[in-house]
Chain A
Amino acid sequence: MDCEFIVDGKSRKASLDQIDGKVVATLDGRRLELDVQKISPHAVSLLADGKCYLAHIARRGNEILVAIGGRHFRLEEPDQEATLSRLLPAGSEKTDGMIKAPMPGLVIKVNVTEGSRVDAGDGLVVVEAMKMEHEMRAAFPATVEKVHVKAGQQVDAFQPLIELKPADEK
């Protein structure tokens, strides 16, 4: 059986087989023979080449979070494009001037209005979560094209807050 995951933006393929009660895995040409024991719905014990690994696993949508001895891995099943695009870092032309909430929280202050001109480093909006304020600043000189939120409004992570139009664009 072959499966594919996305790890750090790279595709990783694993081919698994079962031979004499052992799991035989082929990963990028490497062969691993494992003894696998499920410990709980969230924990798997794996023995490979005499070494013990205890993996804790949690799923969220098509994301898989794995912890092994203090090391964490985030894998994705590549079958849902929507999730992939959501997790891609902002940076395309379209999102360049889009200021998004870095975390779920409360908008406590909006420093700009539509049409305001801002310089690089100017504070735009302040979001508070867990009693800590986080100020979003302009990365470049710009005109505020759109303000999506008001002070006092609760926002989700990645929710658009403010749209900027770079000053050099006419």
Chain B
Amino acid sequence: MFKKILIANRGEIALRVIRACREMGIATVAVYSEADRGSRHVQQADEARFLGPPPPLESYLNIEAILSAAGKSGAEAIHPGYGFLAENALFARRCEESGIAFIGPDSKALALVGDKVASRRTAASIQVPLVPGMMAASRSMREFEEAVESIGYPVLVKASGGGGGKGMHIVRSTKELHSAVETSRREARSAFGDDSVYLEKYIERPRHVEFQILADHHGNVVHLFERECSIQRRYQKILEETPSVALDNDLRRRMGRTAVAIMKATHYTNAGTVEFLLDQDRNFYFLEVNARIQVEHPVTELVLGVDLVKQQIRIACGEKLPFRQEDLAQRGHAIECRIYAENPEQDFLPGPGRIILAREPEGPGIRCDSGIYSGIEVSSFYDPILSKLIVWSEDRETARRRMIAALNDYTILGIPTTIGFLADVLDHPEFAAGRTHTHFINQHLPNWKPRGSDSVLLDIALVASALSGSKHSGARQGARQLESPTPWQTTGKWEIGGSRHGL
């Protein structure tokens, strides 16, 4: 087994990998940019190496800086997390050349499946159904126009090298096509360092269903069942669950078999995900392979009882999978909510800034994979994910209720977050009924505003504020009180905030 692993990432996923390494007795090396000196992964790793200035291209996308950090620290392997260099075949190849194990597929498989267009061709070659679209990325606007002529609007412009919805734009008319392609290119270059884009037919109101795969270096490939990720904003997942209510055992078996076949055809190793769209008639179409650990991997872990990150490390080390397909079964139901630094009242506009207070929920069946703490400055340079709240319960309905309670118990003050919005998604009767699709948010929660609360709650908020002491009108007293644990009511004196009008 490896003795030391460098984690080429930040935020909650870096912490997730650090935890797995600790439990396996593996030392960890964090890397960080100037903006991340105060981030939790730097506090939690055994070693930390500085990469460079905040922009991703100069830090977390800087291949040579990361390899140099690995060399200096003597790390034998690199875990890329998700995003950044996770699906960058050049990075995987540079690791191979430097004699460092890349915890993911090898550079050849990565080049094949990481390129969405190449993986579509491979899937087509083994008769897997595909969403109609361009079979190659193009630089010529003419080719985009021709593709649209043959498949018709609406279409989706997508980044070949991307994932997570970045650089993806829906286009409904020729007028929008040109600027959508241009924007996609810019976003793709900034996010993945590769600006090739293509387009495919946009299927209305589909479900997004994906299968988790593990493949070792001994030819064993298994799937760990599905995740449904239909609840999306900006074509990016915000809530995921497993099992999917849309699958019966027959469909589940067929999709699982197809996913395994695609991974075998691409000689894929390590953890990966095969994404499908499921239309309203329950036809499934291959979408793409995500050649990395995914943000939503915890729901699979909770329902399968498998630690996916540890399996990734064991596979990269050459170990055989410890189970066969028939050993794996789903148990109970898990839901994940992504907590983003975004304002759901303003079309999910990013809201970086300082978190004054962060308090996580706890209780049976609640897991919080978080990268934040009270006082952290959330940078505008990186993905707005703050944390992931995951619950497990015996069935979907109890998991849904558990998640609502956990969200109501999750407090982040200082920046906007998606917490209140997510609670309303889960509380929606259509969600409770399992009638989900990728336009769920636009259809059921457009122009969302937080629900009004009764006046008693506002009264309580006013009283609490008044009692919390003021920095302006009672600076000395207030400051002392903030540090003092003495309950006000026992001393008979408390600090009143707000502006005072006599006494």
Contacts and interface: CB of A to CB of B under 8 A. Distances in A.
A2 B502 contact: yes
Given A41-B482, A103-B380, A128-B190, A70 B408 contact: yes
A131 B423 contact: no
A126 B456 CA distance: 43
Interface string B398-429: 00000000011111011000011001000000
Interface in A95-129: 102-106, 108-109, 123, 128-129
Interface string A11-44: 0101010100111010100101011111011111
A128 B492 CA distance: 52
Contact of A16 (B384, B496, B499): B496
Contacts of B457: 53, 68-69, 71, 73
Contacts of B234: 132
A40 B411 CA distance: 14
Given A25-B459, A56-B413, A42 B357 contact: yes
A145 B4 CA distance: 58
A151 B254 CA distance: 50
Contact of A38 (B179, B183, B351, B488): B488
Given A1-B496, A71-B450, A77-B497, A66 B502 contact: no
Contact of A55 (B187, B409, B461): B461
B420 A70 contact: yes
Contact of B352 (A35, A38, A60, A104): A104
A64 B478 CA distance: 14
A56 B411 contact: yes
Contacts of A55: 460-461, 464
Contacts of B283: none
Nearest to B405: A70
Given A32-B459, A133-B183, A3 B420 contact: no
Interface in A42-86: 42-44, 46, 48, 53, 55-62, 64-73, 75, 77-80
B463 A34 contact: yes
B498 A4 contact: yes
Given A73-B458, A104-B353, A130 B463 contact: no
Contacts of B380: 103-106, 129-130
Interface in B459-483: 459-468, 470-473, 482-483
Interface residues of A, number: 68
Contacts of B485: 38, 40
A14 B186 CA distance: 52
Nearest to B417: A72
B124 interface: no
A132 B380 CA distance: 10
B359 A56 contact: yes
A75 B467 CA distance: 13
A146 interface: no
A103 B350 contact: yes
Contacts of B410: 70
A126 to B, nearest CB: 8
Nearest to A157: B353
A131 B187 contact: yes
Interface in B183-221: 183, 186-187, 190-191
Contacts of B249: none
B483 A75 contact: no
B489 A23 contact: yes
7 contacts: A5-B465, A32-B460, A42-B374, A70-B408, A102-B349, A130-B350, A133-B187
Interface of A: 1-5, 7, 12, 14, 16, 18, 21-23, 25, 27, 30, 32, 34-38, 40-44, 46, 48, 53, 55-62, 64-73, 75, 77-80, 102-106, 108-109, 123, 128-134
By Cβ-Cβ distance, the 5 closest A-B pairs, closest first, are: A3-B498, A70-B408, A58-B356, A55-B464, A58-B413
Given A77-B472, A131-B383, 8 more contacts: A2-B503, A23-B467, A41-B483, A57-B357, A64-B468, A69-B457, A77-B498, A132-B350
